[in-house]
Amino acid sequence: MRQTFSLLSALALLLALACAPARAQELQVVAAENFYGDLAQQLGGPQVRVASILVNPEQDPHLFEASVSTARLLKQAQLVVYNGLHYDPWMEKLLKAAQSPQRKVLIAADLVQARSTDNPHLWYQPAYMVSVAKALSQQFQTLDPAHSAAYASRLDAFLQSMTALSSRISTMKSKYAGLPVTATEPVFGYMAEALGLQMRNAGFQLSIMNDTEPRVSDVIQLEQDLRTRSVRVLFFNSQASNRAARKIQKLALAAHIPVVGVTETLPAGKHYQDWMLDQLAALDAGLAKDRP
Ligand SMILES: [Zn+2]
């Protein structure tokens, strides 16, 4: 009997620990994607606790299905940030299912006034990330006015760190603007635009993104671009590839066209700024290669 009792008390204690509210002074933030989560953590510092949902680099975010634990996280959150533009349609469903009147919700697509047909990979446009950062910081300051000054100075530090990214972009733009490039998916689209690159094969990329079979004419055009070496690099989505995309990757390698791997979500252990700079460095190396 005593043993049963102690077992029960142990269980009760565990339950109490599991249900204990987080320290009251920490804002509970949920980010649908880990690059927004990274932004929230950079801007919120020790005053926020961030949980990101899409973190697995092995998983195609376009095909993600949310779980019960995700719904529980959202129920407790004071601030939620997600992308929108059908990139994370599960988020809207979950937010509706787990109603919470005090919760604030930021949608990146709304903040940057994206149109419904725009490329959903908004975080590849640094100017959009700046808009999201400003909105996040504003929310932190409203929800937790006691730490307003700390949030404001972290926003300044973030904006300062983004200048390294914009100067890299303008240097590369002056070297490479106008060069034709292609991709298996439009993941790098906004950055390619910022660099002034001429992106080809949009139709093929949309099919891969939507996980549909690409049109024969789109496949023929892309294969011809590779075979005739009409493009200087291939951006390959190393996170969300399928058979058609991998075939294209092989063709590019066979034609000695540099393949630049890009990912949907933030690799572990990196901040957004470093991630973008690393991918730009890889692209710079690819574009700098003399065509044999
Ligand atoms: Zn994608």
Which residue, among 51, 46, 45, has the nearest Cα to 28 in the 3D structure?
Answer: 51
For residue 212, count other CB atoms closer than 10 A to its CB.
Answer: 10
Give the single-character DSSP code of 24: T
- Out of 124-133, 169-178, 231-240, which region has the weakest mean confidence (pLDDT)? 231-240
Residues 185-189 have a mean pLDDT of 97
Q: How far is the C-alpha of 34 from the C-alpha of 56, rounded, in Å?
A: 9
pLDDT value of residue 181: 98
Regarding whether 178 and 160 lie in a shared domain, the answer is no
176 Cα: distance to centroid of ligand 1 (angstroms): 24
99 Cα: distance to centroid of ligand 1 (angstroms): 28
Q: How far is the C-alpha of 136 from the C-alpha of 108, rounded, in Å?
A: 10
265 Cα: distance to centroid of ligand 1 (angstroms): 9
pLDDT value of residue 196: 98
54 versus 253: the higher-pLDDT residue is: 253
13-52 CB burial, b ≥16 within 10 A, e <16: eeeeeeeeeeeeebbbbbbbbbbbbbbbbbbbeebbbbbb
How far is C-alpha 215 from the geometric centre of its chain's CA atoms? Answer: 27
289 Cα: distance to centroid of ligand 1 (angstroms): 27
291 Cα: distance to centroid of ligand 1 (angstroms): 29
150 Cα: distance to centroid of ligand 1 (angstroms): 34
> 21 falls in which pLDDT band (50, 70, 90)?
very low
- Residue-by-residue DSSP string for 131-154: HHHHHHHHHHHHH-GGGHHHHHHH
Are the C-beta atoms of 28 and 78 separated by less than 8 Å? yes
Q: Is the confidence at residue 8, as pLDDT, over 70?
A: no
Looking at 136, 164, 192, the residue that finishes a domain is: 164
Q: Burial-class residue 139 by CB neighbours within 10 Å (0-12, 13-18, 19+).
A: buried
228 Cα: distance to centroid of ligand 1 (angstroms): 27
Regarding whether 141 and 219 lie in a shared domain, the answer is no
Are the C-beta atoms of 182 and 112 separated by less than 8 Å? no
89 Cα: distance to centroid of ligand 1 (angstroms): 13
Regarding whether 133 and 84 lie in a shared domain, the answer is yes
To the nearest whole percent, how much of the chain has pLDDT over 70?
91
Task: Specify if 133 maps to a domain.
Answer: yes
260 Cα: distance to centroid of ligand 1 (angstroms): 15
Structure tokens given for 47: 């005053």
Regarding whether 79 and 133 lie in a shared domain, the answer is yes
For residue 198, count other CB atoms closer than 10 A to its CB.
Answer: 14
pLDDT value of residue 62: 79
Containing H/E element for 27?
Answer: strand 27-33
pLDDT value of residue 10: 45
18 Cα: distance to centroid of ligand 1 (angstroms): 35
Looking at 164, 185, 220, the residue that finishes a domain is: 164
Task: Specify if 13 maps to a domain.
Answer: no
Q: How far is the C-alpha of 35 from the C-alpha of 54, rounded, in Å?
A: 9
Axis-axis angle for helices 216-227, 202-209 (nearest 10):
120
Regarding whether 212 and 239 lie in a shared domain, the answer is yes
- Residue entry with tokens 């303008």: 170
- Tens of pLDDT, residue by residue over 76-115, are 999 999 999 999 999 998 999 888 888 999 999 999 999 9
Q: Is the confidence at residue 6, as pLDDT, over 70?
A: no
pLDDT value of residue 3: 43
Residues 184-191 have a mean pLDDT of 97
149 Cα: distance to centroid of ligand 1 (angstroms): 36
Task: Specify if 88 maps to a domain.
Answer: yes
> 2 falls in which pLDDT band (50, 70, 90)?
very low
pLDDT value of residue 24: 59
> 69 falls in which pLDDT band (50, 70, 90)?
confident
198 Cα: distance to centroid of ligand 1 (angstroms): 19
287 Cα: distance to centroid of ligand 1 (angstroms): 23
User: For residue 229, what are the domain limits?
Assistant: 173-288
Q: Is the confidence at residue 15, as pLDDT, over 80?
A: no
Task: Specify if 10 maps to a domain.
Answer: no
Task: Specify if 92 maps to a domain.
Answer: yes
Q: What is the CATH number of the domain that holds 255?
A: 3.40.50.1980
3 Cα: distance to centroid of ligand 1 (angstroms): 54
209 Cα: distance to centroid of ligand 1 (angstroms): 6
141 Cα: distance to centroid of ligand 1 (angstroms): 32
Regarding whether 189 and 151 lie in a shared domain, the answer is no
- Residue entry with tokens 């599960």: 90
Regarding whether 95 and 39 lie in a shared domain, the answer is yes
pTM: 0.89
Which residue, among 111, 117, 43, 41, has the nearest Cα to 83 in the 3D structure?
Answer: 111
Regarding whether 259 and 186 lie in a shared domain, the answer is yes
Residues 23-31 have a mean pLDDT of 85
Strand bridging mode 259-262 / 198-199: unpaired
pLDDT value of residue 16: 42
pLDDT value of residue 190: 98
Looking at 135, 164, 193, the residue that finishes a domain is: 164
Residues 35-61 have a mean pLDDT of 92
238 versus 164: the higher-pLDDT residue is: 164
- Tens of pLDDT, residue by residue over 127-136, are 999 999 999 9
Regarding whether 202 and 145 lie in a shared domain, the answer is no
155 Cα: distance to centroid of ligand 1 (angstroms): 28
Structure tokens given for 138: 């504003």
Q: Is the confidence at residue 71, as pLDDT, over 80?
A: yes
Task: Specify if 85 maps to a domain.
Answer: yes
67 Cα: distance to centroid of ligand 1 (angstroms): 21
Within 69-219, strands assigned E span 79-82, 104-107, 180-183, 198-199
- Tens of pLDDT, residue by residue over 29-46, are 999 999 999 999 999 999
For residue 136, count other CB atoms closer than 10 A to its CB.
Answer: 26
208 Cα: distance to centroid of ligand 1 (angstroms): 9
Regarding whether 140 and 181 lie in a shared domain, the answer is no
Regarding whether 196 and 156 lie in a shared domain, the answer is no
> How many domains are contained in the chain?
2
186 Cα: distance to centroid of ligand 1 (angstroms): 7
Q: Burial-class residue 129 by CB neighbours within 10 Å (0-12, 13-18, 19+).
A: buried
Structure tokens given for 6: 């102690």
159 Cα: distance to centroid of ligand 1 (angstroms): 26
Task: Specify if 178 maps to a domain.
Answer: yes
Regarding whether 65 and 39 lie in a shared domain, the answer is yes
